[in-house]
């Protein structure tokens, strides 16, 4: 029963170390309950990737970083579609879903990735990413647990954010997350320089970083420091 599954997950969360931040505990439980290699939760607002709320290990952090930098991957697709995105064999010959994301993810040891929208009703907050270091589909129980965990994550984010001042991120979310504020600042500057939307400015930043083989945050830092300026060309 869904209620029994939810209660089991909530009991597991309640048994975790209270000295650890709630977002970190949430990611850990997502990986533990599903029995997968790692987990991450990405926050997305206004169709812009705001960054990673939490990850469980360096590989899951890399998965989040790749999606943030490239603008593609299981979390991005799950958020846009509003439904799970399942890739059980990322390195398989038939896997051509994410041309930029896949090679570095596979090189890091990712063999299967699964994205689930983090949402309450029609309000989408981001996506839960799960990965495995061996190829293979989720079992029915793993899939059911992941869907419940994504819902728990959505309600946890809303609860943490509830007492934050309007227009500001809750202190606990900001303290545990990696939200690349310099990228958002640079997107605003490029938006003004080119007279385009913030979303389009982020696309230009990503394209420049990818074409030049540089981390997105480094390019954004150059824009903010005014050593790089985007022109019509």
Domains, in order of start, for the chain:
2-176 (3.30.450.40), 181-224 (1.10.10)
- Per DSSP (E only), the strands in the chain are 38-45, 48-55, 85-87, 112-120, 123-132
What's the pLDDT at 1? 46
Closest residue by Cα to residue 133 from 111, 106, 107, 102: 111
Q: What distance in Å separates the CA atoms of residue 220 and residue 233, rounded to the nearest whole number?
A: 18
Q: What is the pLDDT of residue 214?
A: 81
Q: How far apart are CA 72 and CA 127, in angstroms?
A: 13
- What is residue 19's predicted lDDT score, i.e. its pLDDT? 81
Residue holding tokens 């390195």?
91
List the beta bridge partners of residue 43. Answer: 51, 126
Please provide the DSSP assignment of 92-159 as one string.
Answer: STT--S-TTTHHHHHHTT--EEEEEEEEETTEEEEEEEEEESS--PPPHHHHHHHHHHHHHHHHHHHH
| pLDDT recorded at residue 102 | 93
- Contact between 138 and 145 under an 8 Å Cβ cutoff? The reply is no
C-alpha 93/C-alpha 34 separation (Å) is 26
Which pTM does this prediction carry?
0.78
Nearest to 148 by CA among 225, 33, 22, 28: 33
- Give per-10-residue mean pLDDT for the chain (233 aa): 82 86 88 96 75 90 88 92 94 78 94 94 88 96 95 85 63 56 79 85 82 82 89 71
Specify the pLDDT at position 39. Answer: 96
pLDDT at 46: 65
């Amino acid at each position: 029963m869904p209620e029994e599954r939810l209660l089991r997950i909530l009991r597991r969360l309640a048994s975790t170390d209270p000295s650890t931040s709630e977002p970190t505990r949430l990611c850990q439980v997502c990986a533990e309950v599903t029995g997968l290699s790692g987990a991450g939760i990405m926050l997305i607002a206004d169709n812009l990737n705001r960054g990673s709320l939490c990850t469980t290990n360096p590989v899951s952090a890399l998965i989040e970083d790749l999606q943030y930098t490239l603008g593609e991957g299981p979390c991005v697709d799950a958020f846009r579609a509003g439904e799970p995105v399942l890739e059980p064999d990322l390195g398989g010959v038939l896997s051509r879903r994410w041309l930029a994301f896949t090679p570095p993810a596979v090189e890091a040891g990712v063999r299967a990735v699964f994205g689930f929208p983090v949402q309450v009703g029609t309000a989408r907050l981001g996506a839960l990413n799960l990965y495995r270091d061996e190829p293979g589909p989720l079992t029915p129980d793993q899939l059911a647990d992941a869907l419940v965990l994504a819902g728990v994550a959505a309600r946890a984010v809303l609860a943490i954010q509830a007492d934050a001042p309007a227009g500001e991120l809750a202190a606990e979310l900001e303290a545990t997350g990696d939200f690349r504020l310099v990228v958002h600042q640079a997107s605003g500057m490029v938006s003004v320089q080119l007279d385009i939307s913030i979303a389009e400015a982020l696309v230009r930043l990503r394209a420049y970083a990818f074409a030049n083989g540089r981390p997105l945050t480094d390019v954004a830092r150059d824009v903010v420091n005014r050593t790089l300026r985007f022109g019509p060309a």
